[in-house]
C-alpha cells in the first residue's frame, strides 16, 4: 500500500527546484509517494527531474494528465487524435525514465464540460486510441489508469461501471480503472459498490473531499469507501488530490472550476490528509480481523 500526494498540493509547475521541494515536502508530510502532474509533457524538464529524483526521499508513483482541446481523441478529428497519441507518447517516455509504474488521469479526452453526448463512432475511436497507448505503455512496463470523472469534466466515463464496460472493449491487461472519491461522490449511488465492481481491475485511487478541501470536512463517505478497498485487497496507490488557486495556474483553476479556496497552508493540509487516509484504511482493516 502506497499513500501518495498529488504535486499540485505544493506547486503549480515542476522545474528542477520546484520538483525537489515538492518531493521533500511530500516526504515530510508522511507520504510514501508522489504523483507528478504532467499537463504539458512536451515542455517538461526531464533532465532536471532525473537529477532530482535520484536523491529524493519519496518515489514518483505516477504521472497524470488530461487531454486538451487540440489533443482530444474523442472528437472524430484525425489531427487531434494524432496529437493525443503524441502527447501520451511523450508522457510515457517521461514516466518510464522516472521509473514510475503508472500513467493516470483523463487520458481519453479533454477535461471540460461537453455540450453533446459522446456518439458510438466517437467511443469506437477512443477504444482504438486507448489500445494504441496501452500497447506503447505495455512495452515500457507501465499501467494506465483511466480516471472516471464527473459529468462536467467528461461526456464519456462518469461511473465505474461505464469504465469497466469500456475497458472490456479495449481488452488490454495494463488498462485499469482510476477512481476518485470527489467524482464518485457526485456520480455514483454509493462509495463501496464501484470499488467492489472493479475488484482487481481497480488500478489507481484519488482521495479528494466533496469540495476539494481538508479530508473529513465535506460529505464523502470514507468509511464505506475504505471498507470496500479492504474487501478487494486493494494494494495499489492511494493519492491525495486537491486544488487551490493559491497554488495552481489560473488556466487550470478555470478548467477545474476552482472559484474559492478551501485551504492555503499546504503543509498542514497534507500532514492531516496523510494521517486521515492511513487512519481510515487501518480502521477498515481492523473490522476484518475481529
Ligand atoms: Mn482525480
Alpha-helix runs per DSSP H in 39-77? 46-53
Q: pLDDT value at position 254?
A: 85
- How far, in Å, from the CA of 17 to the mean position of ligand 1? 25
Give yes or no for a contact between 276 and 244, defined as CB atoms under 8 angstroms apart: no
This prediction's pTM: 0.97
- How far, in Å, from the CA of 255 to the mean position of ligand 1? 13
CA distances from 69 to 20, 109, 110, 152, 274 (A): 31, 8, 6, 15, 34
| 241 included as an active-site residue | yes
What are the tens digits of pLDDT across the range 147-191? 999 999 999 999 999 999 999 999 999 999 999 999 999 999 999
20/241 Cα distance (integer angstroms): 19
- How far, in Å, from the CA of 96 to the mean position of ligand 1? 21
CA distances from 92 to 63, 65, 73, 86, 158 (A): 9, 11, 17, 10, 25
Choice among 35, 153, 209, 241 that is catalytic: 241
- How far, in Å, from the CA of 76 to the mean position of ligand 1? 26
| 153 included as an active-site residue | no
79 CB burial (10 A radius; 0-12, 13-18, 19+): exposed
Average pLDDT along the chain:
96
* Closest residue by Cα to residue 188 from 217, 220, 213, 165: 220
Instruction: Tell me the pLDDT band of 252, cut-offs 50, 70 and 90.
Output: confident
Choice among 35, 110, 147, 188 that is catalytic: 147
What b-and-e string marks burial along 239-276, b requiring 16 or more CB atoms within 10 Å of the CB?
Answer: bbbbbbbebbeeebbebbebeeebbeebeebbbbbbeb
Instruction: Tell me the pLDDT band of 217, cut-offs 50, 70 and 90.
Output: very high
Alpha-helix runs per DSSP H in the chain? 16-28, 46-53, 78-98, 120-139, 160-170, 181-187, 193-198, 222-231, 250-255, 266-289
- How far, in Å, from the CA of 290 to the mean position of ligand 1? 33
Nearby residues of 44 by Cβ (< 8 Å), 6 or more positions away: 14, 38, 94
What are the tens digits of pLDDT across the range 52-76? 999 999 999 999 999 999 999 999 9
- How far, in Å, from the CA of 106 to the mean position of ligand 1? 9
- Give just the sign of the alpha carbon dihedral 243, 246, 249, 253: positive
Amino acid at each position: 500500500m502506497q499513500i501518495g500526494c498529488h504535486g499540485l498540493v505544493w506547486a503549480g509547475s515542476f522545474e528542477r527546484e520546484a520538483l525537489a521541494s515538492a518531493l521533500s515536502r511530500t516526504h515530510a508530510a508522511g507520504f510514501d509517494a508522489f504523483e507528478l502532474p504532467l499537463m504539458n509533457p512536451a515542455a517538461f524538464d526531464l533532465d532536471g527531474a532525473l537529477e532530482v529524483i535520484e536523491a529524493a526521499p519519496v518515489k514518483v508513483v505516477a504521472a497524470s494528465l488530461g487531454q486538451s482541446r487540440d489533443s482530444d481523441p474523442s472528437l472524430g478529428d484525425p489531427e487531434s487524435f494524432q496529437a493525443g497519441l503524441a502527447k501520451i507518447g511523450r508522457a510515457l517516455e517521461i514516466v518510464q525514465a522516472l521509473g514510475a509504474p503508472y500513467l493516470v488521469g483523463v487520458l481519453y479526452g479533454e477535461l471540460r464540460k461537453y455540450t453533446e453526448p459522446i456518439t458510438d463512432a466517437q467511443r469506437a475511436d477512443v477504444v482504438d486510441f486507448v489500445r494504441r497507448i496501452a500497447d506503447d505503455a505495455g512495452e515500457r512496463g507501465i499501467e494506465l489508469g483511466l480516471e472516471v470523472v464527473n459529468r462536467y469534466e467528461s461526456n464519456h466515463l462518469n461511473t465505474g461501471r461505464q469504465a469497466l464496460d469500456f475497458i472490456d472493449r479495449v481488452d488490454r491487461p495494463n488498462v485499469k480503472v482510476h477512481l476518485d472519491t470527489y467524482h464518485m461522490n457526485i456520480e455514483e449511488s454509493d462509495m463501496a459498490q464501484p470499488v467492489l465492481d472493479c475488484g482487481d481491475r481497480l488500478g489507481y485511487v484519488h482521495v479528494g473531499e466533496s469540495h476539494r478541501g481538508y479530508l473529513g470536512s465535506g460529505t464523502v463517505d470514507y468509511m464505506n469507501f475504505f471498507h470496500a478497498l479492504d474487501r478487494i485487497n486493494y494494494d495499489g496507490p492511494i493519492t491525495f488530490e486537491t486544488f487551490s488557486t493559491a497554488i495552481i495556474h489560473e488556466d487550470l483553476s478555470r478548467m477545474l472550476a476552482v472559484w474559492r479556496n478551501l485551504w492555503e497552508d499546504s503543509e498542514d493540509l497534507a500532514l492531516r490528509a496523510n494521517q486521515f487516509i492511513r487512519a481510515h484504511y487501518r480502521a477498515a482493516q481492523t473490522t476484518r480481523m475481529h
